[in-house]
Amino acid sequence: MEYTTNKITVRYSETDQMQFVHHSNYLKYFELARLEWLTVLGVSYSEMEKKGILMPVVRANLDFKTPLYFGDEFQVSVVLKNLPRATLVFDYEIINQHNQTICSGTTILAFLSPLTKRPMRCPEILLEKFS
């Protein structure tokens, strides 16, 4: 399964002294794409948390190709690598307005029980959405 965000414009506050988008923002862009996709699928992250489904990021990997700058437009594509079990593995690619790959990466999210803080299986409600 794959999803691509609408165009996003780099805000001035996301840049650093070198006038590049600060590296920490790329994980925020990944999260934005992930949450936007879940919303499109009809999944509310806050409702999941209320039902006791926690999904922390347990691993992140980023590969920077070329920087984004203030005012650039970009889109984030996110791909679910395989059906979830106790983890979700997502691949990402950020493409700018010139169709250049800016950054690619992967995040792994685990399903955790709020009571035990131990891994648990993917809830059926999510499995249905990703099948």
- pLDDT digits 0-9 by tens, 94-123: 999 999 999 999 999 999 988 888 899 998
The whole-model pTM stands at 0.92
Pick the CATH number of 2-130 from 3.30.2350.10, 3.10.129.10, 3.90.25.10, 3.40.50.2300: 3.10.129.10
Buried (b) or exposed (e) across 85-108, using 16+ Cβ within 10 A?
Answer: eebbebbbbbbbeeeeebbbbbbe
Dihedrals φ, ψ of 67, to 5°?
-80, 155
User: Which residues are catalytically annotated?
Assistant: 16
Query: Where are the chain's structural domains?
Result: 2-130
- pLDDT digits 0-9 by tens, 15-63: 999 999 999 999 999 999 999 999 998 888 888 888 888 999 999 999 9
Residue keyed to tokens 């920087």: 67
